Chain A
Amino acid sequence: DTGVSQDPRHKITKRGQNVTFRCDPISEHNRLYWYRQTLGQGPEFLTYFQNEAQLEKSRLLSDRFSAERPKGSFSTLEIQRTEQGDSAMYLCASSPEQGSGFEQFFGPGTRLTVL
């Protein structure tokens, strides 16, 4: 399968712990995105990378959140000192830099539960 992959698929943690999620985009895609989705809502944009450069961050991305894409390939999203309000599905997507419309292709998501 050459689609976007995310790991882990599920994570349960206790409040105050740190968690890290990984996203592997489609190999030839330069752009990588992170979204968060809570129950009953559409995905909300968090941040966007073009190659290794983080070009945009949402105000939703508080100081406890950090994302990296060190070599322009896979990306990690870390949440420090998790809170119950961080419980959500975290989605990663990738898209090519060139093309007719920059459509994004999503991974299966990581479901985070903070107890």
Chain B
Amino acid sequence: GEDVEQSLFLSVREGDSSVINCTYTDSSSTYLYWYKQEPGAGLQLLTYIFSNMDMKQDQRLTVLLNKKDKHLSLRIADTQTGDSAIYFCAESRSNAGNMLTFGGGTRLMVKP
């Protein structure tokens, strides 16, 4: 079955770059997503990447995909205190009706 794993916790200083990593096992993944969840809130879609892409950049966010190693990362440049949240990696497969398989989430703490 499919499995998505993330490290539990990351702490950075304001202004530094943050890199959140994710590994997955299902080679038939079609899309890979990053969602952000602030305390007491729902999941906010940050960005996603199609499985035939290596990289996607959107303002401060850079997503890197290594399909061979089944490794996905999210880099946040110039991290701000407002970036403090839990970040969930998720994968979906087109042959599974777009069902999402989530990682356990990485809690990002940004110190002033």
Are both chains from one complex?
no
